Amino acid sequence: MTTPITTITLTAGTDQVTLINVFNVDPQRQAKLVAALDDASVTIFVTVPGFISANMHASLDGARVINYAQWASEKHFTEALQRADVRAHIAEAAALADSWDPTLVRVASIHRAQGR
């Protein structure tokens, strides 16, 4: 995995969208799923037009992996899904997970702690 540096820049009122994909996974396969998502981000998605960032989250109980990926627009995301390399990655991740729930969202509001 990479050094923990935030790549998230939240914006509201733009075309930017975020894919929040919650994977349910056997705890014995959680690390393998995170590694597959990481690998695809570094080798595939960084080259896809409109891709901004991806962040993987592993639940403490080992049963879930959450992929938080930002895209310049819904159109960019939809076009990425047409690529053979992206579809192959999706199939690989799906084979490791028990189920998944991808949801495309737009930032509605942003809140920060005081002093940040």
86 domain residue, yes or no: yes
Q: How many domains does the chain have?
A: 1
Model pTM?
0.86
The string of pLDDT tens digits covering residues 69-115 is 999 999 999 999 999 999 999 999 999 999 999 999 998 888 878 87
The string of pLDDT tens digits covering residues 12-51 is 778 899 999 999 999 999 999 999 999 999 999 999 999 9
51 domain residue, yes or no: yes
pLDDT beyond 70 at 116: no
**Residue 70, domain CATH:** 3.30.70.100
Phi, psi of 27 (to 5 degrees): -50, -30
Per residue, the 3-state secondary structure of the chain, as one string, reads: CCCCCCCCCCCCCCCCEEEEEEEECCHHHHHHHHHHHHHHHHHCHHHCCCEEEEEEEECCCCCEEEEEEEECCHHHHHHHCCCHHHHHHHHHHHHHCCEEEEEEECCCCCCCCCCC
Residue 13 region by backbone torsions, left for phi larger than 0, else alpha for psi between -120 and 50, else beta: left
112 domain residue, yes or no: no
116 domain residue, yes or no: no
